[in-house]
Amino acid sequence: MNNLDFGFKASYGLGQLSVGSLTLFTRICLFFFYSQVLGLPPLLAGLASVISSVFDAITDPIIGSLSDNWRSKYGRRFPFLALGTIPTAIFVFLLFTPLVEGDFLLFLWFVAFASLTNLFITFFAIPHYALGAELSEDYLERASIVGFRQFFYFFGQVITLFLAYGYFFAPSEEFSNGQMDPGIYSPFALVVAVLYLLASISSIWKTKSIIPTLIQLKEDERFSAIKSFKSIFLDVLEALKNRSFRMIFFGNMFTSIAAGLSWNLELYALTFFWGLTGEITFLLVGLAFYPGAFIGLALAKKFINRFEKDKTLLYGTALWIMFVVIPVLLKILGFFEHAEIIQIAAILVIFRILQGIAITPSEIAFGASLADITDEQEVITHKRQEGVFFASAFFSIKASLGVGAGLSGLALWIIAWPTQVENITSDHLFNLGVIIGPVVGLIGLLACYFYTRYDLTKDRHTEILLELETRKGN
């Protein structure tokens, strides 16, 4: 089917509310919780992030390939979606409820439960992305499907930010910065886990009617576990032979390294570099990205129709980098030396809105481009490999986010960032600004280079669909 009704696309997109809420929670809280709150040395916290992220990245193509080749009465994707619900909720709660003490045991706990959380959310996320590519062959309808998915992904993040800055991180008599309170992270994780369960299970239940219409393996393509495991990494290497996919792969790799570095230092930046105080200020700045993101969602289809997906990827990423770096550079150069907190917050809100407007069409173009590349690959290999392509792409993203997290720990170690707040100096803050500004910007520019080389246009995709249709007719 090419055109889906609003209700079905919303039900499908709802699944990403669970992914958005949980991933944002771990992005803003996990590194900060272990390194600043529990006192795990930044190098160890960064190493734990790298190990768990690389493990996650490695399992992505495995799960993607398995879901491509799975055969059951519930189709290829839905058994994996179901498996990614309850275990994910359990492990994310345990990740933020460490039952051990001491640096080495905390490090092991971090690695073990972050890896398990990542593994089981992958069982849901990768088949869910791949399912979206199967729902329509239409160039613009695919962008619409990704738009619904992205809307709920952002909405889940908004809910988590409201919970964080509007409730859990509120100052108390003991902690003027609520995010320094070790007692709030376990109940916060429990609430996010419940939210994840409700959204993921609801999405599965409301979209199961599509199962009979989805692509099924032919009778002579019965699933073999041994054969599948042997072909997993061959599939990934085969995917990387596709030039269009290579440009997407490496572009997102550098975007994700920049984002991982920025996200892991988010609470450091807001709390110490910008010096924000009060839950309302944190809430306004934390949420400011999302009005822009929703504007970006509304504009994305028009941008893609006007500039096509390749230029949307490039322009959106370049503008996002610019809006991330400019306020940091202004502060480093002394423009906010005499500014009040409310003035700083207002500037940050404006730039975060602009970030959301810029990057959202690029993210939608990315997801929709992967579906187009899948069609291109079918022309070449005669195989439908949605799972492999989405998994390989998210291998790039997750491994790179892990690298970004590792760089966060390394950077804090290099600038000798203290675990005691009273020991933070102006030199520490200046060096932190260099990391979250110019360093992030330089990494992002590498992403733009690869996006300039992506050239799977709408006209070329139309030719691909005609060729596939002719092949089916024969």
Q: Is residue 299 part of a domain?
A: yes
- The residue type found at 381 is T
Residue type, 111: V
Query: Is 1 among the domain residues?
Result: no
Q: Is residue 223 part of a domain?
A: no
- Cα(250)–Cα(311) distance, rounded to whole angstroms? 16
Please indicate, yes or no, if residue 458 is contained in any of the structural domains. Answer: yes
User: Mean pLDDT in runs of 10 for the chain (474 residues)?
Assistant: 74 90 91 92 90 81 74 78 92 96 95 94 86 73 80 91 88 83 95 95 85 59 53 69 89 89 87 83 84 90 89 95 95 90 92 94 88 86 72 70 82 89 90 94 95 90 88 74
Contact 77, 419 (CB under 8 A): no
Domain span at residue 279?
6-209+232-473
Q: Is 216 contained in some domain?
A: no
Number of domains in the chain: 1
Q: What is the pLDDT of residue 33?
A: 94
Contact indicator for 148, 9 with CB cutoff of 8 Å: yes
Distance of CA 232 to the CA centre of its chain: 23
Looking at residue 273, its pLDDT comes to: 93
d(CA 317, CA 441): 11
Q: Crossing angle for the helix pair 6-32 and 103-134, nearest 10 degrees? A: 160
Q: What CATH number did the domain enclosing 106 receive?
A: 1.20.1250.20
Q: How far is CA 355 from the centre of its chain?
A: 15
Q: Where are the alpha helices (DSSP H) in 33-171?
A: 42-69, 78-83, 86-95, 103-134, 139-163
d(CA 63, CA 59): 6
269-289 burial by CB neighbour count: b if 16+ within 10 A, else e? bbbbbbebeebebbbbbbbbb
pLDDT at 216: 58
In a domain, 325, yes or no: yes
Residue 175 lies in a domain: yes
Q: Tell me, yes or no, whether 290 lies in a domain.
A: yes
Tell me the Cα Rg of the chain: 22
Contact indicator for 249, 393 with CB cutoff of 8 Å: yes
State the pLDDT at residue 406. 83
Task: Give the position of tokens 């994840």.
Answer: 196
89: left (phi over 0), alpha (psi -120 to 50) or beta: alpha
Cβ partners under 8 Å of residue 384, min gap 6: 68, 215, 374, 378
